[in-house]
Amino acid sequence: MRAVILEEFGRPLVLGELDRPVAGPGQVLVRVEASGVNPLDIKIAAGQAAHARRGLPAVPGLDMAGVVEEVGPGVAGFAPGDEVYGMTGGVGDLQGSLAQYAAVDARLLARKPESLGMREAAALPLVVITAWEGLVDRAGVRAGQKVLVHGGAGGIGHVAVQIARARGAEVFATASRGRMDVVESLGATPIDRAATSVEEYVARHTGGEGFDVVFDTVGGAVLDASFTAVRTYTGHVVSALGWGTHSIAPLSFRGATYSGVFTLLPMLTGRGREHHGEILRDVAALADAGALRPLLDPRRFTLATVADAYAAVESGTAVGKVVVDVEH
């Protein structure tokens, strides 16, 4: 099979030939149709993601959508011909999705939403699992709450807005001035992150009380700002990038709580992988109900032009998620 190979961190990716894998116990062999590209993919290729623990040489690619070719021993619930999607590789010792075929842990997969094409489905797994773990598993977002999403037009942020709205919350989202229309189109109240201080938007949108849930998808100073934007006593801050050093005093003085999300953990440890499949099944139901849809960058890329796809993500010029078409 044709596959993209990361031979050395920081060096160009290589298109080569590898033996087609075979589905082992608990695995399914998937004919990959599309592979989503995330900022994390870029960091892994550059050797800047030690937390992903990637051995080399390796096939990169976290997210995929495709068709089941064969089912390994001990697998129930999937059959050849099923259209599936998932975050299935690209970290640890797991083969990534930038290849024509991948043998993947069946627990990490779910059937693709019927209402979405392969490209749209491949754009979803990492971002929706991260958003779901933060908003649903950690914060328990529900109707009647006010939710603030930092980076509401970004990869994680734009699906977080949709998940929170689907659960009945009133959603607000920070964005750059040029992306505020994206936030508004998703049904959230946009907040100009550069022109509005934390104190101003907390006063304007919550009467100074703070937001019930603040979901940080940016990290750094934005996480610090989240600690001052959350509601006293009952508020909850969740971050997908809480990796720095922060003062928790503003959070503590509010009597509020904090959770971190590390979406790769089940893939790296082997523990809890079935929950990824559960989340993706719930997300598929939301998508098929018309409550969630990914924003896709209109440009088309293939295995031969993966470098251009990575450059589009790294440059920040992508308008929506970048997806690579895997040709057979």
The Cα–Cα gap between 297 and 182 comes to 13
Looking at residue 204, its pLDDT comes to: 97
The answer to whether 173 and 183 are in contact (CB under 8 A) is yes
What is the Rg, in whole angstroms, of the alpha carbon atoms belonging to the chain?
A: 20
Number of H helices, E strands in the chain: 11, 15
Q: Count how many residues are written for the chain.
A: 328
Separation of alpha carbons 89 and 32, rounded Å:
12
Q: Which pLDDT does position 318 carry in this prediction?
A: 86
Residue 7 near residue 20 (C-beta atoms within 8 A): no
CA nearest 153: which of 204, 219, 217? 217
Residue spans in the chain of domains classed CATH 3.90.180.10: 2-124+271-325
pLDDT of residue 26: 98
Distance, in Å, from the CA atom of 33 to the CA atom of 31, rounded to the nearest integer, reads: 6
Q: Where in the chain is the domain with CATH 3.40.50.720?
A: 127-260
Half-sphere exposure of 159 (CA within 13 A, CB side): 28
CATH superfamily of 127-260: NAD(P)-binding Rossmann-like Domain (3.40.50.720)
Cα of 130 vs its chain's centroid, Å: 5
Write out residues in the chain with pLDDT < 50, as ranges. Answer: none
Supply the CATH classification number for the domain 2-124+271-325. Answer: 3.90.180.10
pLDDT tens-digit map of 3-25: 999 999 999 999 999 999 999 99
One DSSP character per residue, 263-310 reads TTHHHHHSSSHHHHHHHHHHHHHHHHTTS----B-S--EEGGGHHHHH
